[in-house]
Structure 1
């Protein structure tokens, strides 16, 4: 046997396998998501799922509803939306998108893979006042929730509109996009108001196919498994849904869980995060300001995308723990001004479904900790979420105003 034949017998199978793998990665063939993964994925809040497309698309094509936000979604007590929906067999299941550190810009790019799935459908979106700081989203936090798949999914159809130009300029400020310079160059093209060249589009589409196959194969790995936690929480609820009885139960649970501090913060959070250093935090938030931030224009990206998708959105403005804010000096006047500013941005553009809980921070056991909804807070929110998601709503009519991308709006602290 010749040397060439011997080498082929040794190396040939490996070469064929590599070529087959490369062909698989660049073809548009789509792998089907295992439906058994969806219940766990919906409450996992895993970064892999947030950054990908496949599992989100599969779930939102069924009876799952996107609940978008950040760390508040992680507080899974018996009155959490996912627990109530499961316990009382609601016709919807929340799909939790976001965790600590995810803000408007992250959500905009995460939405790019599910625009079809949320088109003419409903979404619940929780707005955290704490996002609206002077610097806006932390670059490291953005990187944690960003993937090149998000970028190429967006670039495939991105035209140099006002929305896309703003998104491109913001993305170029983030170090993570520069992990692939050809993608970064395509983003820069949009930022400069130009359409992508044929060569750029070809690369973007091939990269999209490659990253989509990887997403389909690997996004369900390393999921946070929280199904047992949900089941345990649901067991604490009565068989029949009654707001009166549930509110009484929420009071009882809240009282049991908040016995070791004067701020009605959960004992577990207090012991882990505040007990040893809370004295150092007295008056430390007196200069906090949520009125001037690039986050307002990042939030406009999300609103703009919802309008294009004709998505009916229920926005939630949560409160802060009143006892804690008084201790730290966080200005109630500033929080009220934030509330007015964000509602003006919403309502002036036709986003009128708003659950404003901002004045409920002094209610007993409404908050689980300093800024996150707790037992009675989730229950009050459910009284708006349930009818919104189970009853037919009037079709929204949106009027996007590009003014909200301006630095003037970002920094405006007066009358609106």
Structure 2
């Protein structure tokens, strides 16, 4: 009887020992081009939280990383995964983000890959709804941050000691990390010198790196974005596409006055409660500091980002009594931070009342995607023209 449970235990121990002994390079060498191609629209954890998939992608010169949040997961025939392909973009969209992936999550990711981002064009979608009373919550941070990326951030010679210090101070604000010995020792040093790579010890690092590489090889998931899009859409020019998406939006939002897709409106009514978003649009949100961290990480990486700021559904937010002036202050402040840092910006927050730009309460869709698709393609082809709305803080 003892052998029945001893043998599996022994085999497991031997396999784990072999796993520890095999060099990390042996695993990462298997994570090659086809894997990256298939992961480009998968939005899986090896993309969001990993290192190796993104490294391979950035070295290939074939991809346009798009950092965003839950809008990247939404089914939409005007999604950039479809339209940029239909427009024969020379760079393929590579989607990085999920619901709750806000500025700090992207900033950590960017800083971890800074040495691979020089001269790289990237798209970054900013949602003003992130700028809440509480900013990024402990639960959302814990679910989305990557210890492996944090470790790479602090090892990365392309990131300055001053910026590492700011990252360390921010990370200590989360309960999961407030007692971390490395982060605490880092911020207490007077000379801002770092003992590189000690966020994880070598054993932890090897385990995380091998797990990351294995997930990119064997943990591939089917793309959440369907491959099919009606052929005639891709053949339209941008003017024709915007005309068509207005017709499409009208057809799919006939049940309500707010331009929301009918399925979302039905689910909203089933909740039978007032839709409370009073905690959003805080002009003093911690999210503004996180946005600055993201911008500074991109600067030190010498990347070529295009920031795209999207609006709320103005009609709906008026209906639920989130004051327009309150929204406008946050729109202006986001605009001011990005433009004052000399970043490329496409700001469509002036379109919060334009039908079919937002297709529920908060998510870009239909016509909104077409606006962004056109500018991402312009960015890829070096034809982008700044759209800032000339917003200044009073």
Both proteins in one fold, TM over 0.5: yes
Which residue of structure 1 aligns with residue 259 of structure 2? 264
Answering whether residue 184 of structure 2 is matched by residue 188 of structure 1, we say yes
- After superposition, the C-alpha distances for 1:144-196 in whole angstroms (9 at most, x for unaligned) are 11222112212224788332222112212324447xx8xx2112222223534
- After superposition, the C-alpha distances for 1:355-386 in whole angstroms (9 at most, x for unaligned) are 11101122121111111111111111222211
**1:320 Cα deviation (Å)?**
1.1
User: 1:116–1:76: structure 2 CA closer, same or farther, 3 Å change rule?
Assistant: farther
**What secondary structure does 1:362 align onto?**
coil
Which residue of structure 2 aligns with residue 127 of structure 1? 126
Which residue of structure 2 aligns with residue 398 of structure 1? none
Match of 1:379 among 360, 370, 377: 370
User: 1:134–1:220: structure 2 CA closer, same or farther, 3 Å change rule?
Assistant: farther
Which residue of structure 2 aligns with residue 280 of structure 1? 274
Match of 2:320 among 303, 321, 328: 328
Tell me if structure 1 keeps the 8 A contact 2:111–2:298: no
Whole-angstrom distance in 1 between the partners of 2:12 and 2:77 = 53
Whole-angstrom distance in 2 between the partners of 1:220 and 1:130 = 35
Whole-angstrom distance in 2 between the partners of 1:89 and 1:162 = 41
Whole-angstrom distance in 2 between the partners of 1:346 and 1:166 = 19
User: 1:157–1:238: structure 2 CA closer, same or farther, 3 Å change rule?
Assistant: closer
Tell me if structure 2 keeps the 8 A contact 1:28–1:209: no
Which residue of structure 2 aligns with residue 248 of structure 1? 243
Tell me if structure 1 keeps the 8 A contact 2:66–2:93: yes
Whole-angstrom distance in 1 between the partners of 2:48 and 2:89 = 24
Whole-angstrom distance in 1 between the partners of 2:208 and 2:79 = 34
Match of 1:314 among 306, 313, 319: 306
User: 1:84–1:204: structure 2 CA closer, same or farther, 3 Å change rule?
Assistant: same
Which residue of structure 2 aligns with residue 364 of structure 1? 355
- After superposition, the C-alpha distances for 1:378-406 in whole angstroms (9 at most, x for unaligned) are 11122221111112779xxxxxxxxxxxx
User: 1:15–1:415: structure 2 CA closer, same or farther, 3 Å change rule?
Assistant: closer
Which residue of structure 2 aligns with residue 211 of structure 1? 208
5+ residue gaps in structure 2? 1-8, 386-391
What is the aligned-residue RMSD (CA, Å)? Answer: 3.0
How many residues align? The count is: 378
Tell me if structure 2 keeps the 8 A contact 1:123–1:313: yes
Which residue of structure 2 aligns with residue 86 of structure 1? 85
Tell me if structure 2 keeps the 8 A contact 1:269–1:369: yes
Which residue of structure 1 aligns with residue 6 of structure 2? none
**What secondary structure does 1:316 align onto?**
strand
Tell me if structure 1 keeps the 8 A contact 2:27–2:213: no
Whole-angstrom distance in 2 between the partners of 1:87 and 1:169 = 44
**1:235 Cα deviation (Å)?**
2.5
Whole-angstrom distance in 2 between the partners of 1:120 and 1:309 = 8
Of residues 320-329 and 43-52 in structure 1, the stretch that sits farther from structure 2 once superposed is 43-52
Tell me if structure 2 keeps the 8 A contact 1:264–1:365: yes
Tell me if structure 2 keeps the 8 A contact 1:127–1:317: yes
Tell me if structure 1 keeps the 8 A contact 2:64–2:121: yes
Which structure is larger by alpha-carbon Rg, 1 or 2?
1
Which residue of structure 2 aligns with residue 96 of structure 1? 95
Answering whether residue 89 of structure 2 is matched by residue 52 of structure 1, we say no
Which residue of structure 1 aligns with residue 223 of structure 2? 226
Answering whether residue 291 of structure 2 is matched by residue 295 of structure 1, we say no
Which residue of structure 2 aligns with residue 113 of structure 1? 112
User: 1:331–1:88: structure 2 CA closer, same or farther, 3 Å change rule?
Assistant: same
**1:224 Cα deviation (Å)?**
4.3
Tell me if structure 2 keeps the 8 A contact 1:156–1:204: no
User: 1:71–1:13: structure 2 CA closer, same or farther, 3 Å change rule?
Assistant: closer
**1:219 Cα deviation (Å)?**
3.6
Match of 1:39 among 30, 37, 40: 37
**1:278 Cα deviation (Å)?**
5.9
**What secondary structure does 1:366 align onto?**
coil
User: 1:138–1:17: structure 2 CA closer, same or farther, 3 Å change rule?
Assistant: closer
Whole-angstrom distance in 2 between the partners of 1:305 and 1:101 = 20
**1:60 Cα deviation (Å)?**
2.3
**What secondary structure does 2:41 align onto?**
helix
Which residue of structure 1 aligns with residue 345 of structure 2? 354
- Structure 1-normalised TM-score? 0.81
Whole-angstrom distance in 2 between the partners of 1:41 and 1:275 = 35
- Structure 2-normalised TM-score? 0.86
- After superposition, the C-alpha distances for 1:48-101 in whole angstroms (9 at most, x for unaligned) are 321111111112222111111111222231111111112222101111111111
5+ residue gaps in structure 1? 1-10, 395-413
User: 1:18–1:384: structure 2 CA closer, same or farther, 3 Å change rule?
Assistant: closer
